[in-house]
Amino acid sequence: MYRIGELASQCDIKADTLRFYEKHGLLAPSSRSGSGYRLYTKDDASRLRFILRAKAVGFTLNEISELLSIELDKANWACADVKGMVDNKLEQVTAKIAELTQFANSLQSLSNACCGGPDSAEHCSILEALESEDKQLSAKNETSHKGHHHAVK
Amino acid sequence: MYRIGELASQCDIKADTLRFYEKHGLLAPSSRSGSGYRLYTKDDASRLRFILRAKAVGFTLNEISELLSIELDKANWACADVKGMVDNKLEQVTAKIAELTQFANSLQSLSNACCGGPDSAEHCSILEALESEDKQLSAKNETSHKGHHHAVK
DNA sequence: CTTGACCTTAGATTAAACTCCAAGGTTTAT
DNA sequence: ATAAACCTTGGAGTTTAATCTAAGGTCAAG
Ligand SMILES: [Zn+2]
Ligand SMILES: [Zn+2]
Ligand SMILES: [Zn+2]
Ligand SMILES: [Zn+2]
């Protein structure tokens, strides 16, 4: 039996987090001491580790709730259900990566176009690009003479 | 002069969003009609487009506020400042991509290990992997016989 | 028997970017 | 004149995952 602080430090999380998980139905201690302290069993600890592993692969707490309810009633679920959740998540993650990659490419183009020097930003290519649609930066702009209108040191 | 709904539909956002931007100091209409309607000028519209372009490359609204204050006082800022913000953001975005790529890899491994069939999840490799540390899935697991303990159709 | 570390609760706060609502005033067209 | 479409305000709700606060009980050591 672990008290909340013990289990928390064992798993490198805060006691607050454990109370939060309890409030949201992810993990309740199996019992309480006479004075009301939460007491977690080894099974509770395993369940927590399941939660943390699922978090580590990107599932949200809501999704982990679903996963836990499957876990407790495996016989009534199919591999297809479980794999479906994983594939679904993978799709979301992949979509987010695509969006961020777009951002990264645009940012890289902006960065490439700017000299980054100490001179006034009055003709900064980054600002100009944000000001008007037409002044787009291409991703292959790396060898440009930095697009600036002032001399490069 | 555009009314809020006009400008919003022109830029493919909602009037609510414009009010939100105003409340957060990003964009205020230059004037109001006698009856209190917001009236936006062409300059206001340009500023909005600046905001939307900055959003499209991944900046948060707070960062866009900074960018806007530089934009309005270019002479007192250097290219280095602007490029610094861009490079900083690029670093953040890159870090997030790395994290998500980790997630994607783990999820792919989990997915690869599961047959995804209609049989009971009692021996589902995904669940087993989440249950215990040791049963890790490798990313190169694709050619495995799906790790399941039940027959594949 | 007191100090310090630990525990309890309910509820507020954080960040991000909207989105929606109610209750009412204005414009425009028919 | 009346309906439809638009506008106003303040404030609440959404999502995610905690984190923090206040006010107080419990426990082991010295
Ligand atoms: Zn420059
Ligand atoms: Zn520049
Ligand atoms: Zn299977
Ligand atoms: Zn399976």
Strand C contact with B35 (CB < 7 A): yes
pLDDT in tens, B34-58: 999 999 999 999 999 999 999 999 9
Q: How far is B57 from chain A (nearest CA, A)?
A: 5
Share of chain B above pLDDT 90, in %: 86
Q: How far apart are CA B101 and CA B124, in angstroms?
A: 24
State the Cα angle at B114 between B112 and B120, rounded to 5°.
Answer: 170
| pLDDT for the residue numbered A153 | 42
Ligand in closest contact with the CA of B82 = 2
| pLDDT for the residue numbered B147 | 56
Spell out which residues of chain B touch residue A49, defining contact as CB-CB under 8 Å.
133
Nearest CA in chain B to A152: B79
- Nearest-CB residue to A77 (from B82, B96, B121): B121
- Kind and range of the H or E element at B31? strand B31-32
Amino acid at A36: G
Q: Which segments of chain A have a pLDDT < 70?
A: 135-153
| pLDDT for the residue numbered A141 | 45
Ligand in closest contact with the CA of A113 = 2
| pLDDT for the residue numbered B129 | 97
pLDDT of residue B9 exceeding 70: yes
Ligand 1 centroid to residue B80 C-alpha, Å: 8
pTM score > 0.85 for this model?
yes
Judge whether A85 and A63 are in contact, CB under 8 Å: yes
Q: How far is CA B81 from CA A148, B35, B54, B71, B88, in A?
A: 14, 42, 16, 11, 10
- The residue with tokens 């961020």 is A100
| pLDDT for the residue numbered B134 | 72
Spell out which residues of chain A touch residue B70, defining contact as CB-CB under 8 Å.
121, 127
- Closest nucleotide to A3, Cα to C1': C7
Q: How far apart are CA B97 and CA B120, in angstroms?
A: 35
pLDDT in tens, B85-105: 999 999 999 999 999 999 999
pLDDT in tens, B122-141: 999 999 999 997 766 665 54
Q: Inter-chain contact A126–B86, Cβ cutoff 8 Å?
A: yes
Q: How far is CA A58 from CA A45, B121, B125, B134, B144, in A?
A: 20, 21, 18, 19, 24
Judge whether A41 and A30 are in contact, CB under 8 Å: yes
**Domains of chain A by range and CATH?**
2-77 (1.10.1660.10), 93-145 (no CATH)
> What mean pLDDT is predicted for residues B4-28?
97
Q: Phi and psi of A39, rounded to 5°?
A: -125, 120
